Amino acid sequence: MKIRKIIFERILPILLMLILIVRIFSYNNSIYAYEGLDSSPYSKGITLITLLAIWFQFTATLTLGCRPFFNIKSLRFITRFIVPITYVINLLYINSCSVLLTGTIDFNAFKTLLLIECLLGFVIWGYYFIIDLKEKVTIKSILVMIGIWLLLMIPTMPTYFLKFAFGLANPIISVIDISFAHRIFLYLGVIVPMVMYFLLRDKEEVIRRFALVFVSCGVLIGFMVGYDFASLKEPWSWPIHLCNTALFIIPLCLIFKLKKLFYFTYFINVLGALFAMLMPNYSSSTNLFDPGLIRFWYNHWVAFFMPLLIVALKIFKRPKIKEFYYSMVGFFAYFVIALVCNVLFTAMGHDVDFFFINSDFIADKLGKWAEHLFEFNVSLDVMGYQLVFRPIYQILFFIVYVILGFAEWFIYAEFFRIADSHYDLHVRLVVSKQQKLEYLKNLSTEQKEEMMNNNGEIKLELKHFSKKYGTNKHYSVKDASFEVFGGEIFGFLGPNGAGKSTIIKSVVGIQPLSEGAIEICGYDVTKEPTKAKFNVGYVPDHYALYEKLTGREYINYIADIFNVTEEERNERLERYIKIFQLEHAIDSKIATYSHGMKQKITIMSALVHNPKVWILDEPLTGLDPNSIFQVKECMRIHASEGNIVFFSSHLIDIVEKLCQRIAIIRKGQILCVKTLEEIEATGKTLEEFYMQTIEQFDEEVVEERS
């Protein structure tokens, strides 16, 4: 049993991939000579089916080769249903495939290898067909399978397919300058990896690794199609260009987990690919469907974004500075090899320019000073060959590239800082939703209705609440008791360190209670924390926002946590945008906001789920008069709807004009709870009453101690 598994799940799939590689080198690419379906010796229908058969074969063989190493449901279905159809089509159209690819219908190496590849593919397919036979097939699984298959075909598309299938586009499109077409190619180099990242980041590692392996191997296959056995004998035509090396390095690193080699491509190839995309070395009149153009962009896209994607998806860890140093050592070795090959092959009469250090391609773009450096050369006569070096230009080239690579380190650091912030937000949201769903799942129907549509009394009640931190002998708050009712704006007064924030943080569930109880709308914050929190909106004294998000994105994030419907959140959001006059800034990043604008976003996020108890800890500190007025209006509106507004403040004159009742706390003790009418009846202002109450308490404390 073990031997059979090794044969079918290791030896034969690897052999299948080797046959595919050898087959790619077995034809002379006469297919590149065709320009449109009309130029084919066959009818348009047969030609198109043949082109698709060639394309499908690449995808199917690569998929079948990956199947033993990646046990993924969609991959199993593709292997089971699509792969055999692909091989049947190739066998039926083997003659037309041979004519288009080799120019002859005779039985040749290509036909032999294609036949062996199909037969071996059927053997492997049969083995897995039996294994996967019991797996249930549904309409959903079929649709997913088709969708995944179409995605897998993208990286394996032959570079000649568009030209052959649609002909040369007319008119000629210029893509060498920063034109519209060039910009589209650059945008795709950013958009595609971002889409891949968001699609894959939450998937299992096996799925992430498979996707990266398949894309890198698929593009490599398309690249190798441009070579044949004859080119192997000509080292001057080998893919020694820096970006070409990435196409071989990346699959090797992913398949064999070669970490040290990976960091070479991470620092060196990415930078080279970026420069190549910004300064492409092809004619300005290159046609849009030209195989060379498609090959150029496929290759450089992969060299540019694949190393970044591999790290972002956590296949390899983010490098430390020592990995950067290792990559520079590797770059030095590559640079020397490329330099020697350039000089030697040029002396032999071949036109080569590996890494653009053998021509003035780069120097021409930098100006006359670089051209002058390039013109300075040193010649050596070695065994009859005239070896020409350009030492100053080439040494400076190397040094500048190393400096740019070092600068790249800091760009990566900022990129991942932003990515971490966004991913942390994403994880928090996912975890929050999972916890909420798990909690709701365990509730009865009656409990769910009660929590989501609580029509009971709106009340905040502290019952002999006390709080003591750690092993501290003294209480921060001692035996605090009071009630706040719906429709009230309740002011909480006291000097710094009196215990206001301690009570507020205990009410909202940030810290546990030591003694007593706190109830919100009848829910005990210790025994029923989720139910209690569903009824609370909290504005802390020191807000902490995700500043890489826009104001709208952050508020929507909070709305998601509280399960606010799309209609409700949009209605409330537009309402508060108008109140706070944030129309111009709501879709800008929070990092660009002023202190007052950030405070307003905090308030809006606390109100988006329309809490029955709105708690604010020093909400008016640092705000301008206009912003203070806006916040006060929100308080009045929220309380007028029957809700509680509970806020602490040092601005006694605002509390006096705004509140119906107040509580005064000093050294952890509630000194009094009074209505404003009761205070007015004493003939004193709130400020005078507050100062008198505090002074009397301090005098009593002094008398007790004496």
Identify the pLDDT of residue 706. 60
For residues 353-361, give the mean pLDDT: 90
Identify the pLDDT of residue 360. 87
3-state helix, strand, coil in the chain (%, to 5): 60, 10, 30
pLDDT band per the 50, 70, 90 thresholds, residue 532: confident
For residues 204-210, give the mean pLDDT: 92
User: Would the pLDDT of 198 be above 80?
Assistant: yes
Condensed to tens digits (0 to 9), the pLDDT of residues 120-139 reads: 999 999 999 999 888 888 99
For residues 44-57, give the mean pLDDT: 95
Helix (H) or strand (E) holding 466: strand 459-467
Average model confidence (pLDDT) across the chain:
87
Identify the pLDDT of residue 444. 53
| Architecture of the domain whose range is 458-705 | 3-Layer(aba) Sandwich (3.40)
Condensed to tens digits (0 to 9), the pLDDT of residues 96-124 reads: 999 999 989 988 899 999 999 999 999 99
Give the long-range contacts of residues 235-240, CB within 8 A, separation 24 or more.
Answer: 235/341, 235/345, 236/341, 236/345, 236/348, 236/350, 236/352, 240/337, 240/338, 240/341, 240/354, 240/355
| Furthest CA-CA distance within the chain | 115
Distance CA 466, CA 463 (A): 9
- Enter the tokens of residue 179: 């034109």
User: Would the pLDDT of 355 be above 60?
Assistant: yes
3-state class (DSSP) for residue 434? helix
For residues 205-232, give the mean pLDDT: 91
Full-model pTM: 0.64
Condensed to tens digits (0 to 9), the pLDDT of residues 287-301 reads: 788 888 889 999 999
For the chain, the domains span 1-167, 458-705
User: Would the pLDDT of 321 be above 50?
Assistant: yes
For residues 581-593, give the mean pLDDT: 88
Distance CA 100, CA 455 (A): 76
User: Would the pLDDT of 389 be above 90?
Assistant: yes
Q: Can you tell me which residue has the tokens 């084919």?
A: 40
Distance CA 149, CA 60 (A): 9
CA atoms within 13 A on the CB side of 635: 26
In degrees and rounded to multiples of 5, residue 71 shows phi and psi of -85, 85
- Enter the tokens of residue 550: 């826009």
Distance CA 430, CA 426 (A): 6
pLDDT band per the 50, 70, 90 thresholds, residue 367: confident
Identify the pLDDT of residue 541. 79
In contact, 669 and 494? CB cutoff 8 Å: no
Sequence-ordered strand ranges (E) for 343-425: 378-382, 385-389
Percent of the chain scoring above 90 in pLDDT: 42
For residues 21-44, give the mean pLDDT: 88
User: Would the pLDDT of 424 be above 80?
Assistant: no
Distances (CA, A) of 220 to 58, 217, 524: 11, 5, 62
3-state class (DSSP) for residue 438? helix
Does 560 or 83 have the greater pLDDT score?
83
Identify the pLDDT of residue 156. 95
3-state class (DSSP) for residue 481? strand
User: Would the pLDDT of 328 be above 70?
Assistant: yes
Does 444 or 182 have the greater pLDDT score?
182
Identify the pLDDT of residue 1. 53
pLDDT band per the 50, 70, 90 thresholds, residue 453: very low
Identify the pLDDT of residue 193. 92
User: Would the pLDDT of 344 be above 80?
Assistant: yes
Instruction: Write the DSSP string, 586-605.
Output: TTSBGGG--HHHHHHHHHHH
User: Would the pLDDT of 451 be above 60?
Assistant: no
**What residues are paired with 615 via a beta bridge?**
538, 646
Does 414 or 444 have the greater pLDDT score?
414
User: Would the pLDDT of 172 be above 70?
Assistant: no
